Structure 1
Amino acid sequence: MEYINAFWVGGLICALVQILLDRTKLMPGRIMVLLVCTGAVLGILGIYEPIQEYAGAGASVPLTGFGNLLWQGVRKAVDEEGVIGIFLGGFQASAAGIAGALIFGYLASLIFEPKMKE
């Protein structure tokens, strides 16, 4: 059942994003920023945590999950470090994921020989 919940929640998030792409004139970069900010705001309001517990990776993998992760890091760092935690928390919470994406992206580029689009 966990896989089904992850699938439909993640699919719903992706479908809503696709509707935004198709029906509005928003650029993809702005929609990505909107998703990250939405995840952070839902985290602040305490709404995203129950969704993430219910859907697992279906809620933590999309960009809304990244926004929530940044919020969780900032909240923890502010509790421990004070005001300076506003600037440190997001970096500390997301460092492993960002580093992994860079490393695996680089390794994939070595294996598959990327080409420029024409």
Structure 2
Amino acid sequence: MQDYLMVFVVGGLICVIGQLLMDLTPLTPAHVLVLFVVVGGILSGLGLYQPLVDMAGAGASIPLTGFGHSLVAGTLEEVDKLGFLGIFTGALKASAAGITAAVLFSFLAALLCNPKG
């Protein structure tokens, strides 16, 4: 039960921060999206995001900061294996499933839904 609570609290706090940024600053949702991915990547590169993922699980890995973490963690892993070539392959290898799912479900939504245009 405590694990579910931690997932909810951490994921909720990340979402609250995003909402506050959109409500209290001139940042657009696109700015917040990019900011969260970059912050997740920076925190991952500094070794600060993985402990949060270990503690909160999906609460930290599902939000956009988790995508940034996934990109950087995959890149670092591939650099350890392949050297310089890992810079180019790591991020795509680590995030391929998420990107594929996003494209597939977006395509299905476009086929099934009528636009309001």
**RMSD after superposition:** 1.3
After TM superposition, the structure 1 = structure 2 runs for residues 103-118 of structure 1, keeping only pairs within 5 Å, are: 103-110=104-111, 113-118=112-117
In the TM superposition, what is the alpha-carbon distance from 1:114 to its structure 2 partner? 1.2
Residue 80 (structure 1) aligns with: 81
Residue 49 (structure 1) aligns with: 50
Q: How many residues align?
A: 116
Residue 97 (structure 1) aligns with: 98
In the TM superposition, what is the alpha-carbon distance from 1:85 to its structure 2 partner? 1.3
Unaligned runs of at least 5 residues, structure 2: none
In the TM superposition, what is the alpha-carbon distance from 1:115 to its structure 2 partner? 1.9
Cα deviation, 1:5-48, whole Å, max 9, x if unaligned, reads 00010000000000000011112111111100100111111111
Q: Runs of 4+ in structure 1 displaced over 6 angstroms?
A: none
Letter in 1 for 2:85: I
In the TM superposition, what is the alpha-carbon distance from 1:101 to its structure 2 partner? 2.2
User: Structure 1: how far apart are the matches of 2:26 and 2:58?
Assistant: 29
User: Structure 2: how far apart are the matches of 1:59 and 1:51?
Assistant: 6
User: Structure 2: how far apart are the matches of 1:52 and 1:45?
Assistant: 14
What's the % identity of the aligned pairs?
48
TM-score normalised by structure 2 residue count = 0.91
In the TM superposition, what is the alpha-carbon distance from 1:77 to its structure 2 partner? 1.2
Letter in 2 for 1:16: I
Letter in 2 for 1:97: G
Cα deviation, 1:57-107, whole Å, max 9, x if unaligned, reads 000000000000000111011111211211211001000111122223333
Unaligned runs of at least 5 residues, structure 1: none
